[in-house]
Structure 1
């Protein structure tokens, strides 16, 4: 389970509060499926391809009104033909933009599915219009909007990898200009139902002493050709490689790659027997030299009903070493593969043309001997697998499916270079994490959209200091850091964000500070620097009578922190049913209060071994809190209450009758939720919801007594999750048959309990019933 922080306990959607507080920008139009993005930071342009349209946005502010649009819809005739093919007229029979890249200094090149008849066209960048008649795109673009696909335009040559036609084999192609090349499918099929997720050019010719060629790496998942008991009929993650200047063979492998090789990428947790075989996305982080290149991959499990993700990092040198290792050999054209131990032809099959080969008069791949090319045709698979850089994942997270990621480097105040990862999920969340000694520490989790939807693409810009995310409904722009959200020294230091530091008064962005000598930052440990800082401790008073129950709330700003309660300097033991206390992440519940439970209660947040005071309560429990009323007052009160109930019941019956007449049906719901105060400012899957407590300087202005409101989790008012992690009630109060626990009124200062009223009996009945069930002294691991 990764470490994670939660800088704010209340949900902030990007397009509401967060838009104003953190510089979030949002772009949306009538189009949907914003899946393709091209960032050109120098010209401050973000090009976005959607369904039936292409947009040119201001990269500094994508919400600006200066957006340019090209509408490119499929014709009605082509949509009709798509329907006749049995395709979905709600998702597939449209023109989904799959390729959008720079072609030359004046034009972009784009390809779309065009309702299952792909077309491609050039875009005049200056006028932002389609500058030519669309051309056939079936060899450059997949037919469907969800088919695995990757493409690169390098020196006006188009390299693509996909399953291009209906029922065709997957293929890696160079489409234009001549010579066109593709992968081989006989006698040994080089690709086996491959699902491509990415590709990258690595300029290995730069600084090469051997006169090496640049190489293009393709990343995909395919059915394993190694039918062993462990990997029988399973899918595996692969990386394949071709040389940029490959021209194919003269007779053997004519119009085929002569440099194609592939091997397996492994990402697993052997101690848990978790093997992440599905490669979802890849991000390439270039280094100062080509050899310093890193490949970051997001991996998932083959089990479709299990959500889990792992992030593994690979080095280019490890990939090169695998391609220099032994080959695999197919026995009898079947499924039995084993390591090849025979003689390897010279020059080594699958290598690029180098100075050594040029000295032997082999200037191009068409000059390679036939025995070398025949060996390449039958031995595309390498035996050595590529292991992660640290031989294990940087991150393993259950209940989360990451879809895309980006990596940014940041210089810490300690002089070290840190890798900061931005990861989008299938439900529209952004997780920001930092790599510390081979482990990912999740700094924050932010919800990007009100409705759950996947992050389709993710780009990072140093110049605009932004991260851009595409989704089915629109594009979101966020700053790489928003240090102002950390309101205390401890929050700023505990976050361990390389972009942020404490200057003695506030948390500031490091790159914006000219003088960094007084800044405080502790990324390695997240514990030091705030010892002499006075935290803002909230002080409250409570007065209750003997036998009542009272909830003392404690709002923790970090999901890594755990609450610690002290009563007059002694730790409160809240997990023993006979102690009179119940503790949870929301606070401390005093049950059936006794006079000896009076005193000063202090809630501490404990994180990384550091204890920080959050709130104190001076609790007074008295016998004579309210004098017994006389009998006349009791009678008058009863008459008043009964009369009021009659009026309320009459109104309810009239309302229900009206609803039945107009045909409304459904379960009860809470109206005017803004008037309710909740025990937790969160909501979890058990129906524990927030009702909109007003916050002022971190304090709850109004509190309330604990009241049980019948209802079911799915019919409760919609609640906002706090940064992806559900907070819980005191542990013994969780999972109470779907009831919602709503805080109606809880007084601060010296306000007294209402005379003659106590909810202790009702609550104690539930607590007694809970004694006979399994206790949950800690939140579910799945909730983390």
Structure 2
């Protein structure tokens, strides 16, 4: 519990300036932690196949199309353990040999990594693989329960990366592939490309893209219900080396860029190049950090029309000085305003070699550089980008960077958390019992877990952290299915499917309501936590997601004591596991609060009693207190009656124990004195040798003397046998008593030593 408190204190301190507003972060710790064994999901992996990092959810076919290394799978969308089909797409020996000759690793790099899977309008799928640094694309179909790849394949350069481990992204819009990836073998030339009949792409210069790492691409249909006749946009999220900073070392920044879907390039200037490519910096400021955070993944959600679209973006630090990750949200209208109304930042040469970036304050050419063809352009006789004047094209040829940054909603991050870095994000929508809609974020981490979080009017609540893979397996892809309400996560090692709502994890009414999970509510009729729906909008279900009000829950008292007995000096652990990581645990003994001391240590899952003595007898109780919006809820989890063990099947009160303890000590003293007297008398009479000083072997005259004194049939053994047997017997008895002393000292337990009865003198 102490460790959890310290971690939460660090999280609360780090984003201290975020109090209030959309980005407040009161609870940086997941309320509930779900282990790998109890996540309740399904998993899939195929022997010999790795890198399950490309997914296409086909709800129309009830299939999850899964791309891995040299294989494509069709899995049942409801249960991915059911493999419907598998298709191998491997490199040939010739392709592998050629890849190796070019200096690549045959084991890892010279394979075919499936990197693109998109559904086309006719129901077929378009797929691309790295194919041993020779990217190749083809058409995939689902027919008669089988995956079929057409024999005719095409060059994938500019569509799919050469290097399987280089950043890339793509989108299929109206049957046309838009991609951002490398366009050469070395991976040094990167571009954003539209692979239509007339290929359009960015130019390979630092002003356009400077050492970019592509992250996410999204199509936003901005032409819908737009009175000015605007065009659809393709948005690109990426990182790149900043060209605008005066710095001795390279600084990376996060960007969002956009192009117009109808862009055809210029007539003379910017032929087959984007005339609408603009980029701006994404701001996601985390307190107490110096370098900008870098985007790792993005997900766009449009609950209504395109004007409601929100981009949820995951950021991580670019240096090891910070271990915090962040999530920022950006509204489409804010992004659009920067590109359509913001000022440009342009390079200006200073002296002879130095370039300084300044804000462009002069009049812009008309039409505005980078603007899509709209009704205003058409009124000037400009119906296509091919009709744009040279002044507009010359300006946009070298000046793509906006001066203004895109700021997140609420002007601050939604979530800042210290721990394993965030890797991926998807967002689902659901409606609570009051009819309010909520965006539920599922955030993948580098340690193989997923955070389930929601923002309630500025309060970020992390409901669960669910472990999906071993901690050494980062989550590399996340996908959602609206029809099955399932989350799919992929890593290098396999795929896991879990439900977005696992209400059965909440055991009690208090646990269910305080979880503030909009998927779940406590059903009074069934007395269990279950998934809510529109039919539950009555008094039979308790749910309070924004307020966390659990006053309608009946208080349970699990106070029937458990009897525990202990031995003197032992260490005793009393188990108590609260429902919530956010709850504060309180222990009492005989009604008195327990504080940490040399005797007691309070852990997150119990109480340790060290060197237990008679004074530790008593009645112990464990309560947890969870605070939600200043309202405290107390739960009695367990009670123990702890008593000292004094005999088989019996326990005793403190007075009885002391009486019996004193009697036992007196008996031990008397027996010790009697034993000491007996030993001294035997030593005096010569019946026992001195302790630990065994007598040496007898000489011949002593043996003869003993033979002469013996009568009857009892004969003495030869001197050799006697010396051997007697020495062995004395040594064995000595070692027996030494072992007895050792056990008594090290364990403190009563040691029982048994002596074997000898009924034949010949055995001596």
* Inter-partner Cα distance in structure 1 for 2:550 and 2:227: 47
Distance 2:33 2:734 in 1: 42
Structure 1 residue 296: deviation in Å?
Answer: 0.6
Aligned to 2:50, what secondary structure does the other structure show?
A: coil
Question: How far off its partner does 1:569 sit?
Answer: 3.1
* Residues in 2 aligned to 1:420 and 1:449: alpha-carbon distance in whole angstroms: 21
Partner of 1:124: 141
1:35–1:167 distance in 2 versus 1, CA, 3 Å? closer
Matched, 1:95 2:115: no
Sort the Cα spacing of 1:464 and 1:375 in 2 relative to 1 into closer, same or farther, 3 A: same
Counterpart position of 2:191: 171
Q: Secondary structure at the match of 1:390?
A: helix
Q: Using the alignment, how far apart are the partners of 2:500 and 2:386 within structure 1?
A: 48
CA distance in 2, matches of 1:484, 1:644: 60
* CA pair 59-589 structure 1, distance change in 2 beyond 3 A: closer
The alpha-carbon deviation at position 501 of structure 1 amounts to 0.8
Equivalent in the alignment of 1:617: 640
Which of 328, 338, 348 is the aligned partner of 1:322?
338
The structure 2 residue matched to 1:108, chosen from 125, 129, 144, is: 125
The within-5 A match list for 1:168-567 is 168-177=188-197, 179-185=198-204, 189-228=207-246, 233-270=250-287, 272-273=288-289, 275-304=291-320, 307-323=323-339, 324-332=341-349, 334-450=354-470, 452-504=472-524, 505-511=527-533, 514=536, 516-537=538-559, 539-544=561-566, 550-567=572-589
Which of 563, 578, 584 is the aligned partner of 2:603? 584
Whole-Å Cα distance in 2 between the matches of residues 519 and 641 of structure 1?
Answer: 76
2:55 to 31, 37, 61: 37
3-state SS in 2 of match to 1:189: coil
**Once the 2 structures are TM-superposed, how far is the Cα of residue 494 of structure 1 from its aligned partner?**
2.0
Q: Whose radius of gyration is greater, 1 or 2?
A: 2
Q: CA deviation at 1:516?
A: 4.3
Contact 2:158 2:191 in 1 (8 A): no
- Per-residue CA shift, 1:540-594, capped at 9, x if unaligned? 23445776654333222321112111233332232x55xx533232333344556
> What SS is found at the alignment partner of 1:33?
coil
What does 1:697-736 correspond to in 2, within 5 Å? Answer: none
Instruction: Give per-residue Cα distances to partners, 1:620-660, cap 9 Å, x unaligned.
Output: 4626436528559999xxx999869979x9xxxxxxxxxxx
**Deviations 1:85-105, CA, capped at 9 Å, x for gaps:** 221222111000111111331
Deviates more, 1:69-78 or 1:414-423: 414-423
| Partners of 2:312 and 2:154 in 1: CA distance | 35
SS of structure 1 residue aligned to 2:624: strand
SS of the aligned residue for 1:410 comes to strand
**Pair 564,275 (structure 1): closer, same or farther in 2 beyond 3 Å:** farther
Distance 1:116 1:548, change over 3 A: closer
Q: 1:514/1:501 Cα in 2 relative to 1: closer, same or farther (>3 Å)?
A: closer
Determine if the alignment matches structure 1 residue 156 to structure 2 residue 179.
no
Distance 2:273 2:459 in 1: 42
Q: Tell me how far 1:334 sits from its aligned partner.
A: 4.7
Q: Distance in 1 between matches of 2:750 and 2:546?
A: 55
Indicate conservation of the 8 Å contact 1:6/1:559, yes or no: yes
SS for the counterpart of 2:504 is: helix
For 1:46 and 1:120, locate their aligned partners in 2 and report how far apart those are by CA, in whole Å: 20
Q: Give the whole-Å Cα distance in 1 for the aligned partners of 2:429 and 2:560.
A: 38
User: CA contact under 8 A between 2:570 and 2:612: conserved in structure 1?
Assistant: yes
1:606 aligns with 2:625: yes
**Is contact 1:98-1:141 (8 Å) kept?**
yes
Unaligned runs of 5+ in 2: 1-10, 12-26, 645-653, 676-731, 753-764
User: How far does residue 465 in structure 1 lie from its aligned partner after superposition?
Assistant: 1.0
**Any idea what SS the aligned residue of 2:438 has?**
strand
Deviations 1:758-783 (A, max 9, x none): xxxxxxxxxxxxxxxxxxxxxxxxxx
RMSD over aligned Cα atoms: 3.0
Q: Could you tell me how far 1:33 is from its partner in structure 2? A: 0.5
Do 1:562 and 1:585's aligned partners in 2 also have CA atoms closer than 8 Å? no
Measured after TM superposition, the shift of residue 139 of structure 1 is 2.3
Separation of aligned partners in 2, 1:32 and 1:132: 25
Contact 1:545/1:623 (8 A) holds in 2: no
Is the CA contact 2:129–2:136 (under 8 Å) kept in the aligned structure 1? Answer: yes
TM-score normalised by length of structure 2: 0.78
Q: CA deviation at 1:7?
A: 4.1
Q: How many residues align?
A: 637
| 1:643-682 matches, cutoff 5 A | none
> Per the alignment, do residues 642 and 401 of structure 1 end up closer, same or farther by CA in structure 2, a change over 3 Å counting?
farther
In structure 1, what is the Cα distance between the partners aligned to 2:532 and 2:737? 61
Q: Distance in 2 between matches of 1:530 and 1:541?
A: 33
Which structure 2 residues correspond to residues 686-705 of structure 1 after superposition, within 5 A? none
Say whether the 8 Å CA contact 1:543–1:620 is kept in structure 2.
yes
Q: Unaligned stretches of 5+ in structure 1?
A: 650-706, 709-752, 758-784
How much has 1:205 moved relative to structure 2? 0.5
- In the superposition, relative to structure 1, how do residues 376 and 322 fare at CA in structure 2: closer, same or farther (>3 Å)? same
Contact kept? 2:428, 2:480, Cα under 8 Å: yes
The answer to whether 1:3 aligns with 2:20 is no
* Cα distance, 1:189 vs structure 2: 2.6
Q: 2:693 is matched with which residue? A: none
Q: Is the 2:252–2:292 contact (alpha carbons within 8 Å) kept by the matching residues of 1?
A: no
Give the distance between the partners of 2:434 and 2:671, measured in 1 at CA: 71
Instruction: Give the CA deviation at 1:452.
Output: 2.3
